[in-house]
Structure 1
């Protein structure tokens, strides 16, 4: 069939159906900071939704509603994990300093998926580097990507 005969959404109707944000199949483990970030996002999106509703802005309303559904689901499924009481081995919430083969030192905190931002020094607990480090101790060497890293500090 020619595309000429297919009715496509136009104008405001184009914003009626936004795809849902995918929710991870992994448990939603969060730190105290991560839970606060989720709560702040729900509050912000609730305000955005109310403003879009008052303005009659259907596109903004649909976008806010979709994101609010996502963050509300993340808040409902959040499992708060307290910071580790000890630093003998790498756990969720640990801050780990590693030494790479090229003598670069990097420090990462292992956190939940929604709060991970490697540029800010946080990595998701389901990331390859975090999975390699979890359960290890200072002095252990683990394979990360094409090279090895040594754990030099855990806090």
Structure 2
């Protein structure tokens, strides 16, 4: 019997236009890949004993992974709401904002607030569901934001807000 895991909280249904397009492209690529894997699986199955056929076992697992991701995307895409490129008040931080922050020690960081389905922390994209993004919402330039992190409390000062989706 498996260990009980409580269900994950519902993720925010918001996404940028670019993120939505990427998910649709991913689903098209997965359908193409699924067709290739299915052909390879049929060829491996035709080779005989499936219990000792490594190619058959590998393709079966690969097909399962592809099918899981396709099912997820088929359920998630209709739930998503594409957010407008810029809010009515671009002086405040909302979904899609690229924010430049300065910490107490003078270190400058840049983040873009995006939906949970398009995270790229290495590129500075953070989820609107994250504690930092929630603390930043509706703030303006020169505001101070305090965020609780596992390492303790961190204070940031907002230096700039931009709604251009492209990196500077």
Q: By the TM > 0.5 criterion, same fold? A: yes
Contact 2:12 2:129 in 1 (8 A): no
Contact conserved, 2:30 with 2:66, CA < 8 A, in 1?
Answer: yes
Cα offset, 1:153, TM superposition? 0.6
* Aligned with 2:117 (options 102, 114, 117): 114
Match of residue 95, structure 1, among 95, 98, 108: 98
Which residue in the other structure is 1:67 paired with? 69
Distance in structure 1 (CA, Å) of the matches to 2:123 and 2:74? 25
Aligned residues: 134
Cα RMSD for the two superposed structures: 1.6
For the 8 Å contact 1:92–1:125, the answer to whether it is kept is: yes
* Alignment partner of 1:39 is 2:46: no
8 A contact 1:83–1:94 mirrored in 2: no
Rounded Cα–Cα distance in structure 2 between residues aligned with 1:46 and 1:87:
39
Shift of 1:102: 1.0
Which ranges in structure 1 are unaligned for 5 or more consecutive residues?
A: 1-21
Q: 1:147 maps to which residue?
A: 154
Bigger Cα displacement from structure 2, 98-107 vs 57-66: 57-66
Q: 1:26 is paired with a residue of what secondary structure?
A: coil
